[in-house]
Amino acid sequence: MKSMYHVSASPHIRSSVTTATIMRDVAIALIPASLLGVYQFGFNAFLVLVTSIVTCVLAEYLYKKLMKKPGLPYESSAIVTGLLLGMNLPSTVPLWIPIIGGVFAIIIVKELYGGLGQNFMNPALAARCFLLISFAGRMTAFGVSSFNEAQSSVTKNLYTFLNGAGSLDGISSATPLAQIKTMEAAASVADVVSLKDMFLGFTGGVIGETSILALLIGAAYLVFRKVISLRIPLIYIGSFVVFLLLFGGHGFDLYYIAAEVCGGGLILGAFFMATDYVTSPITKTGQVIFGVLLGLLTVLFRVFGNNAEGVSFAIIFCNLLVPLLDKYTVPVAFGKGGRKNGK
Amino acid sequence: MSGTGTFQGGIHPNDGKSLSKDKPTKILLPKGELVYPMVQHIGAPAKPIVAVGDKVFVGQKIAEAGGFISVCVNSSVSGTVKKIEPRLTVSGAMVDSIVIENDNEYTTIEGFGEARDYTKLSKQEIRDIVKEAGIAGMGGAGFPTYVKLTPKDDDAIDYVIVNGAECEPYLTSDYRMMIEEPEKIVTGLNVILSLFKNAKGIIAIEDNKPDCIEKISEMVKGEGRIEVKTLKTKYPQGAERQLIYAATGRKINSAMLPSDAGCIVNNIDTVISIYMSVCETTKLIRRIVTVTGDAIKEPQNFSVRIGTSYGELAEAAGGFVNEPQKIISGGPMMGMAMFSLDIPVTRISSALLAYSIDPVTLKPTTPCIRCGRCMEACPSHLVPQMMLPFAERFDDESFEKIDGMECYECGSCTYVCPAGQPLTQAFKQTRRSILDKKRRK
């Protein structure tokens, strides 16, 4: 008898979108902001990004090998985690910071809980918060535009590795939000920060958060490729603005609100991290509540907390609520509870 | 409802219709033996009423309905009953079948093919004709048509919908019929409307077939009770629940029949079969089948005698370009894969689709990343991502609690899943087992 044809249950066709293409799209979308970060903060920023990515990929590879789990990092999700982690670090950190962060993100946050799809927090953000708590000083020394002149000797590199570029150059600057937070009561926000600089990205901050323009280009790409929907980002930012008007203490000061929206990684967080599939609600109602809570928490952390930034903590806190949100927001099935007509 | 009808959810797969859409329907006469499975509809199996050695004619009843929800079987050729034995069917199961040796004479029973004026028939006569013609829903489900046409209350039917959506990729048989025999569709619909005095007729067509919409709209201009409804092209627009919603705004769920919402839905080829049995005194002996796919040499549409083997269909379409890896009875979304071509065409066989490479093998299965695409695609507004773990660990209770039984296995979730998870497949199994358990209680 002739060989038999394949038999499987329908459907027999699949869309061309795979986990790998989604991760590739996210990585592509992060490139503009990363490039700008490197341009702005110099070679150290590049080193931080690369170290972070390599650490994440290696950590995943070695863990899977060690645990005899099938498959290589085929989905390239580790690259995205690594890139996001790097973008959430100041360019001035010593290189062991992204290494610790990468291992923490991949092993502790992701793999120990079952790997891809099972982590309950965004790995990159969880790692960032872990680093922020552990190494507060190093994690808040932000470099400002500096192409370090040909510091290429081995000793110097070693020094950079151990202590970070910040301590070498002694250049560091506060982020715009910190400036707003610490400014004198009489001053106006416009005197302290320049919106134009914030939009283009010429301010202090972590590598990937500063240029709103570059981030929005990346976000537009993700929307165009239908990788993310705008539901969470827009509700997040909208709720953030509303609560800022209520609690911000600056009244209806548009310049202040714009500065707060553009600063502190809100755009990076809203479009790239709050939309992380694994750690955001799957239902529409859940996503709406998620977005509103993110806005509220970010405002509370920023206005009443010690830090000028609050996006990371808001997101990882809301990540924890996701299973609950999903459980109680299952949509009503089509035609359910429908009235029988014609009887 | 005015404007273009649609629904929330659904997908846009590559439709592949261009392969066969412009090929006029060819009549294909069978060469070999014909096989008539006793199950080619939903309901009780039919019971053979002929014996081995009997002479039969075209249109002769060879098996009677096995219950109220069942359909009789008529011979599509003249010849001799060769065997009555279990034969392989599309579902992969061996089903008792009547095998007839074709004498190539095509001698019909008396009165077969005579013109008849349906307006002179009573409602009961029309229903009996449809019943005796052996018609079951030819869109794929195979629900006995005379049962559909016999609701509890004729006057409560507000809409009779003809399903011309043909949303399933690759299929072009309904399209060909709308182009080639639109008058039969309109008259067939009028026959059905004569049963339901309060009903309006709707011929619903997806907007990727503008020529059909134009042609039929022109044709029904003088018909006060019939209108053409344009639907947005999207899979599964032709699914009964989505079709009724898009055409009338009414919603039904798994516990309801269309007639509970005052609707009756029939597929294009079913309506034509109703027309032919009532107005031309025929029986259901043929159906339109699209033979297509990248492995088929000359994709086209055939009018096939029911009982013909799929192998003959492939041969008539020029054979295979190369040995296909997968052959499917029906479309790629809801059709059934067959491991052999030695299977007969039944009432519900809308297509023979042959793929050189099984598309399923091209996508690896990776862990779910909770992207939510399955939920966006689900026309029943379910959350397949949450249903899958319940299905996998046989947690029927939780599965039902999140409305898993509302799934009708359209396959949209599996299609969109970037992780290649077998969602629909798991739901199929779970739904079957839950239904079985309920039946046993």
What is the CATH number for A185? Answer: 1.10.3430
Task: Find the domain containing A78 and state its range.
Answer: 19-326
Sequence-separated contacts (24+) of A254-257 with Cβ below 8 Å? A255/A188, A255/A189, A255/A190, A255/A195, A256/A180, A256/A189
Question: Is a pLDDT exceeding 70 seen at residue A71?
Answer: no
Do residues A75 and A23 make contact, with C-beta atoms less than 8 angstroms apart? yes
Apex CA B27: angle with CA B22 and CA B32, to 5°? 130
User: CA nearest B364 in A: which residue?
Assistant: A18
pLDDT at position A150 is 40
Token digits of residue A73:
């990092």
Inter-helix orientation angle A231-247/A254-262, to 10° = 140
Residue-wise pLDDT for B344-378, tens only, equals: 999 999 999 999 999 998 888 889 999 999 999 99
Query: What ipTM describes this predicted complex?
Result: 0.87
Do residues A206 and A93 make contact, with C-beta atoms less than 8 angstroms apart? no
Token digits of residue B404:
């898993």
CB pairs under 8 A between A and B: 196
Give me the mean pLDDT over the B308-332 stretch. Answer: 94
Mean pLDDT of chain A: 85
- How far, in Å, CA of A138 to CA of B382, rounded? 47
Residue A313 within any structural domain of the chain: yes
The SS3 of residue A14 is coil
User: Across-strand partners of B204?
Assistant: B163, B229
- How far, in Å, CA of A173 to CA of A178, rounded? 10
pLDDT band (50, 70, 90) for residue A340:
very low
Q: Tell me if A9 and B364 make a contact (CB, 8 A cut-off).
A: no
- How far, in Å, CA of A294 to CA of A122, rounded? 14
pLDDT at position A173 is 58
Closest by alpha carbon to B61, among B284, B216, B310? B284
The shortest C-alpha distance from B74 to chain A (Å) reads 30
Question: Is a pLDDT exceeding 50 seen at residue B1?
Answer: no
Mean pLDDT of chain B: 93
Residue B159 within any structural domain of the chain: yes
DSSP state of B363: S
User: CA nearest A115 in B: which residue?
Assistant: B367
pLDDT band (50, 70, 90) for residue A136:
confident
Between the CA of residue B316 and those of B339, B354, B408, what are the distances in Å? Answer: 20, 14, 34
Residue B389 within any structural domain of the chain: yes
pLDDT at position B144 is 94
Closest by alpha carbon to B230, among B203, B264, B190? B203
Give me the mean pLDDT over the B43-57 stretch. Answer: 94
User: B248, B279, B310 — which closes off a domain?
Assistant: B279
User: B250, B279, B308 — which closes off a domain?
Assistant: B279
- Same domain, yes or no, for B128 and B261? yes
Residue-wise pLDDT for B192-234, tens only, equals: 999 999 999 999 999 999 999 999 999 999 888 999 999 999 9
Question: Is a pLDDT exceeding 70 seen at residue A164?
Answer: no
User: B279, B309, B336 — which closes off a domain?
Assistant: B279
Phi, psi (degrees; rounded to nearest 5) at A254: -60, -35
The percent of residues in chain B predicted with pLDDT above 90, rounded, is 89
Catalogue the E-assigned strands of B219-275: 226-231, 263-267
Residue-wise pLDDT for B262-297, tens only, equals: 999 999 999 999 999 999 999 999 999 999 999 999
Closest by alpha carbon to B96, among B42, B145, B45? B45
Residue B342 within any structural domain of the chain: no
User: CA nearest B8 in A: which residue?
Assistant: A334
pLDDT at position A152 is 43
pLDDT band (50, 70, 90) for residue A73:
low
Residue B432 within any structural domain of the chain: yes
pLDDT at position A146 is 42
The whole-angstrom distance between residue A265's C-alpha and the CA centroid of its chain comes to 8
Task: Find the domain containing B430 and state its range.
Answer: 373-440
Residue A158 within any structural domain of the chain: yes
- Same domain, yes or no, for B240 and B388? no
Residue A343 within any structural domain of the chain: no
| The total number of structural domains that make up chain A | 1
- How far, in Å, CA of A246 to CA of A226, rounded? 34
The shortest C-alpha distance from B361 to chain A (Å) reads 10
User: CA nearest A332 in B: which residue?
Assistant: B381
Residue-wise pLDDT for B154-207, tens only, equals: 999 999 999 999 999 999 999 999 999 999 999 999 999 999 999 999 999 999
Phi, psi (degrees; rounded to nearest 5) at A92: -85, -5
Do residues A308 and A325 make contact, with C-beta atoms less than 8 angstroms apart? no
Closest by alpha carbon to B20, among B212, B177, B173? B173
The shortest C-alpha distance from B344 to chain A (Å) reads 16
Question: Is a pLDDT exceeding 50 seen at residue A343?
Answer: no
Q: Which residues contact B245 (CB under 8 A, 6 or more apart)?
A: A334, A335, B5, B7, B251
Apex CA A172: angle with CA A171 and CA A173, to 5°? 135
pLDDT at position A169 is 44
Question: Is a pLDDT exceeding 50 seen at residue A153?
Answer: no
pLDDT at position A3 is 66
pLDDT at position A48 is 95
pLDDT band (50, 70, 90) for residue A201:
confident
- How far, in Å, CA of B200 to CA of B197, rounded? 9
pLDDT at position A335 is 85
The shortest C-alpha distance from B143 to chain A (Å) reads 20
Residue-wise pLDDT for B6-15, tens only, equals: 999 999 999 9
Question: Is a pLDDT exceeding 80 seen at residue A161?
Answer: no
Q: Tell me if A342 and B420 make a contact (CB, 8 A cut-off).
A: no
Contacts of A343 in chain B (CB under 8 A): 152-153, 156, 260
- How far, in Å, CA of B243 to CA of B236, rounded? 9
Higher-pLDDT residue of A289, A5: A289
Q: Tell me if B262 and A341 make a contact (CB, 8 A cut-off).
A: yes
Closest by alpha carbon to A263, among A172, A187, A202, A319? A202
Residue A332 within any structural domain of the chain: no
- Residues B58, B301, B146, A335, Cα dihedral to 10°: 170
Q: Which residues contact A146 (CB under 8 A, 6 or more apart)?
A: A41, A42, A169, A171
The neighbour count for residue B315, using CB atoms within 10 Å, is: 16
Q: Tell the burial category of A266 from Cβ atoms under 10 Å away from its Cβ (0-12, 13-18, 19+).
A: buried
Residue-wise pLDDT for B68-87, tens only, equals: 899 999 999 999 999 999 99
Contacts of A8 in chain B (CB under 8 A): 326, 337, 358, 360, 425
DSSP state of B405: G
| The total number of structural domains that make up chain B | 2
Q: How many helices (H) and strands (E) does chain A have?
A: 17, 0
Q: Tell me if A334 and B380 make a contact (CB, 8 A cut-off).
A: yes
Residue-wise pLDDT for B23-49, tens only, equals: 999 999 998 899 999 999 989 999 999
